[in-house]
A and B are shown apart, each in its own frame.
Chain A
Amino acid sequence: MDRLLRPLTALFTGRALVISVPFLFLCVFFLLPFLIVGKISVSEMETVSFKDVLTYKDGALTLALKFSNYVFITEDALYFKTYLASLRYAAATTLLCLFIGYPFAYFMARAKSSVQPALLMLVMLPFWTSFLLRVYAWRGLLTEGGWVADLIVGMGLDQVLYALGLISTPGKLMHTPFSLVLGMTYTYLPFMILPLYSTLAKMDLRLLEAAADLGATPWTAFWKITVPLSKAGIIAGSMLVFIPCVGEFVIPELLGGPETLMIGRVLWDEFFSNNDWPMASSVAVVMVLLIIVPLALFNKYQAEAQERPQGARK
């Protein structure tokens, strides 16, 4: 009996178990749902449900694919504008996060090693407190009478924002592209800082000394050594900001206005307000297509960072 059971137990212990359980879980609850979405996006909507793509009737197999959703999505100006706007807001957020986050991570990594854990903790702590509540807090800060709104209007910066086209009326900051990008920058800043910090903290500082010995100014050394060596961090951080921003829903809903359409909100409305499931599925498919290139980039660098043995340098 024992001899009979042994191969069975071997299958369920160690290697096979550790690989197959999460693998199966992901296949069933992550991959399969995507395939279903793909299928529904080309299905005909009926009154309560959608038609099967493949039907077998009277000995004939019919394949009814409906690409009109995709045709509509690509031809409709509003949809097209929404995609462009999503990409533009996400790109603006990424650049802003990089601009604030790079010096931040740099000075963190160069701070005394005794204070670095505390600084790291301080960056992580807001990330632990509810994201929804922190986004909601910006509503209070940016609505007329709020602290930040008073500060910006008091300094006359709203005129600058107005001139840049980020707000449509001076003095009114909420429900504008400005409040949207500010909210997204705020939310995703730690995602930029953390990968940057980890690459910058690992850097061999003797390289900078060597550069200085060879006559490089600190500024040249920074651009020629520090920045190229932190490339992996820059890419990882940018993708971690850019990709979720493209499909963001909560921030556009709470901080953006009717004029700041983003694709995540369009999907939501198609699903919850219009109940058009095939249309919502098509929007989801297009959204995935939009982020697939940055996603592949991210995965490549992520895998490289994880697989490189400790201490090894290129």
Chain B
Amino acid sequence: MKAATLNRWFGRGWLSLGFLFLYLPIVALVVFSFNDSAVPNVWRGFTFKWYVALASDVELQAGLWLSLKIAFMTACGSVVLGTMAAFALVKYKRFFGRTWFSGMVNAPLVMPEVVVGLSLLLMLVSVQRALGFPERGMMTIWLGHLLLGMAYAAVIVQARLSDLNPQLEEAAMDLGARPHQVFWLVTLPLIGQSLVSAWLLTFTLSLDDVVLSAFLSGPGSTTMPLVIFSRARLGLNPSVNAVATLIIVVVSIGVLLASYLIARAERQRLADQAAAVRG
């Protein structure tokens, strides 16, 4: 009994320390965004001036707008391509080149971004030399992010798809649904929440990416992470803390809200299913 109590407290302590480690930098970012000093790691007093300064920071605003556009397109494209890839891997166990396909779907997850960025850029340069387009800019950054986002989306959707009860789809087919009806009316609602998670994750990934964007951006297409990175490289900068705080607040609210809605929809679905079973 004694050992079990000790074990429980050790467990709680380890978890608490772990969470402290994970959250300390985030807390520090937020705290020092209100710090009245140009050196944002020693407390000098409370101020809002770094937030006021953001309002006139044209470079950062332009970067933010560009990043949001790219992130939105990346999230939409990644979910579509990722869902297709996940379907191909879960539903079709045999097709030409499946091993290659599965390897290529997972590879961008772990491939160093410098390698992916460099290789995509060198290809785009070769194409540009031959055909005269594309110019480096928003679309080329989007392409890079899409490659990465697709891999993440595929993994998330794949996990959900392989957990699905195949009997639900079979039942729909037995009742005369066409394959596309089965997809839109049965499968899609069942995997809906994983699509939402995949969309949100790829959105934040794209909003955060430095390396791919640096390789694939052209003159005049500087995304927000590139602006932040070039400032952070030079040293500590309170404007970065202020932006960070705003991003953290928005993302946390978004993620918490989304997960609350997903959980509610899931409960509703289970209740509906139970009601349907009772008849």
Contacts and interface: CB of A to CB of B under 8 A. Distances in A.
Contact of B26 (A108, A137, A250): A137
Interface stretch (B49-57, B104-112, B167-175): B104-112
Contacts of B32: 140
Given A30-B107, A137-B28, A253-B233, A130 B122 contact: no
Contacts of B111: 243, 247, 288, 291, 295
Nearest to A34: B119
A108 B3 CA distance: 18
Interface string A2-35: 0000000000011101110111011101111110
A31 B247 CA distance: 34
A104 B108 CA distance: 27
Interface string A116-146: 0001011101101111111011111101011
Nearest to A143: B41
Contacts of B162: 306, 310
Contacts of A303: 102
B136 to A, nearest CB: 14
Contacts of A15: 91-92, 95
Contacts of A22: 81-82, 84-85, 88, 101, 105, 150, 154
A105 to B, nearest CB: 10
Contact of B25 (A137, A218, A254, A299): A137
A140 B42 CA distance: 9
Given A130-B208, A132-B225, A136-B228, A13 B180 contact: yes
Contacts of B29: 133-134, 136-137, 140
Interface in A78-136: 100, 103-104, 106-108, 110-111, 119, 121-123, 125-126, 128-134, 136
B257 interface: no
A291 B105 CA distance: 17
A23 B232 contact: no
B211 interface: yes
B271 interface: no
Contacts, number: 244
A143 B251 CA distance: 27
Interface residues of B, number: 92
Interface of A: 13-15, 17-19, 21-23, 25-27, 29-34, 36-37, 40, 49, 100, 103-104, 106-108, 110-111, 119, 121-123, 125-126, 128-134, 136-141, 143, 145-148, 186, 189-190, 218, 239-240, 243-244, 246-250, 253-254, 264, 267-268, 271-272, 277, 280-281, 284, 287-288, 291, 295, 298-299, 302-303, 306, 310
Interface of B: 3, 7, 11-12, 14-15, 18-19, 21-26, 28-29, 32, 39-42, 81-82, 84-85, 87-89, 91-92, 95, 97, 101-116, 118-120, 122-123, 126, 129, 143, 146-147, 150, 154, 158-159, 162-163, 179-180, 200-201, 204, 207-208, 210-211, 214-215, 225, 228-229, 232-233, 235-236, 240-241, 243-244, 247-248, 251-252, 255, 259
Given A132-B225, A264-B112, A302-B106, 13 more contacts: A14-B179, A25-B150, A29-B146, A126-B23, A131-B208, A140-B40, A146-B28, A249-B114, A271-B118, A287-B112, A298-B106, A303-B102, A306-B89
